[in-house]
Amino acid sequence: MDDIDRQLVRVLVADGRLTYQELARIVVLSANSTADRVRRLRQNATISGYHAEFNLASVGCTLHALTDIKLKEHVSREDFEKALEAVPQVLGAIHTTGEFDYQLRIACTGTADLQRLVDTVRRLGAREVQSRIVLGERRFDPTRLLG
């Protein structure tokens, strides 16, 4: 990956809807060369996709939480993860090392919804559940890793 590839990745992370012509103007290449580079970055999985960001508040999910889970001994990771797919409030599940088996990223409509979710997760095989409400979040640009 050279400096132009890094610049293309940074620009596309900021705005994945730019045309090849707009990208070409930014990186000072032809549109065809730019398109070839972007295709190569997609083929080698440097760019893994494009997405729209969904505003969770638009569906009433204004309470965000991180929930640590210890599984019951008889519950398999595969079964637990499969069961979580049916729980819409669970935005993601990270399998971790340490004291807990998982950290769930949760979006709820309020504390009563969070309590129902905790009850659901217990029924799915959690023996211990510890939640923390997110007060704020600051995301950092992942392209900082490019140097």
Any idea which architecture 56-133 has in CATH? 2-Layer Sandwich (3.30)
- Sequence-distant (≥ 6) Cβ neighbours of residue 114 within 8 angstroms: 63, 65, 106, 108, 131, 133
What's the pLDDT at 53? 87
Where in the chain is CATH 1.10.10.10?
3-43
| DSSP three-state, residue 82 | helix
Angle between helices 20-27 and 31-43 (to 10 degrees): 100
pLDDT tens-digit readout, 50-95:
988 899 999 999 999 999 999 999 999 999 999 999 999 999 999 9
Any idea which architecture 3-43 has in CATH? Orthogonal Bundle (1.10)
Where in the chain is CATH 3.30.70.920?
56-133
More confident residue, 147 or 4: 4
State the Rg of the chain over Cα. Answer: 20
Residue 21 C-alpha from the chain's centroid: 29
pLDDT tens-digit readout, 100-133:
999 999 999 999 999 999 999 999 999 999 999 9
Q: pTM, whole model, 2 decimals?
A: 0.82
Q: Which of 97, 108, 101 is nearest to 124 (CA)?
A: 101
